[in-house]
Structure 1
Amino acid sequence: MKRIAILTAIFAAGVLVGGITFSRSIPRSLLAVASCDGNCFKPSDAAGLLMSIGVNLPAGLVPRAVAESAKCIGIQHWKPEGRYHVAFFPKRDVRNIMELQQEDTPYLLDCLALAREHVGAAGFKNYRFISNGPALQHLTYFHFHVVAK
């Protein structure tokens, strides 16, 4: 009886932690059994789901983070296209520009300010500031790239 109570408590704690962890994530369909109508789960969706958790980790726990504010985080790109390549992620789960809502504005503005601060401190004059559409994203999570050659 004691063992069942312990297992039930562990299960309940897992459900609670999982609920808190994914509470700010946009739902993404993991399984489309019958027909997915162009919305099948893709590796980029898994990456986006993991990113929605990662950007909300406490400061210092996100690998390769180079800049951070309360609403945005800048992470060195894992496949840089130049000598400097940082991706800026709002700490609010948005898949792409077409899904932006009014309440996302402070997060996007904070990312712009953080990118400006970071680029200004580095002194770059020759750089690109870009964002990819859904078909070009390697992870389904809206973000900006700053690339300096």
Structure 2
Amino acid sequence: MSENAAFMASINAFVDRAKANQETVVRAASLRILARLVQMSPVDTGRFRGNWLVGFNNAPDGTLATVDKTGSETIARGSLVIEQFKVGMTSVYFTNNLPYAYALEMGHSQQAPGGMVRITAAEFQRFFDAAAQEVRT
């Protein structure tokens, strides 16, 4: 292999590692965000908790008939989506499209008087910092 080819191979390997690290960080942080949203969600029947959706580049629409009082099914379903994240996707969306989602976010439930999204958004940097630290170690 020529010096130029070896140099290009090392550059390509570096780029591939960097992309893989970016994907790992985004996936880990996204999973933390989803888990936080789901676990903070107020529970009556479990329908609200079961309606968190994850999508890339565009916010998911629609609602689910899913009832998930513990949140474990919702997190598992979202995890399958999050694992598909690739560098080049421009955004990760977490949505809950139930008609009463806004009221719950604005404190309608005593179980989550401060909402879920606003609190999780304030913690966003912490989730990414923790994920990046995991990749470094």
The structure whose residues are more often helix, as a share, is 2
The structure whose residues are more often strand, as a share, is 1
Higher relative contact order (CA 8 A, sep 6+): 2
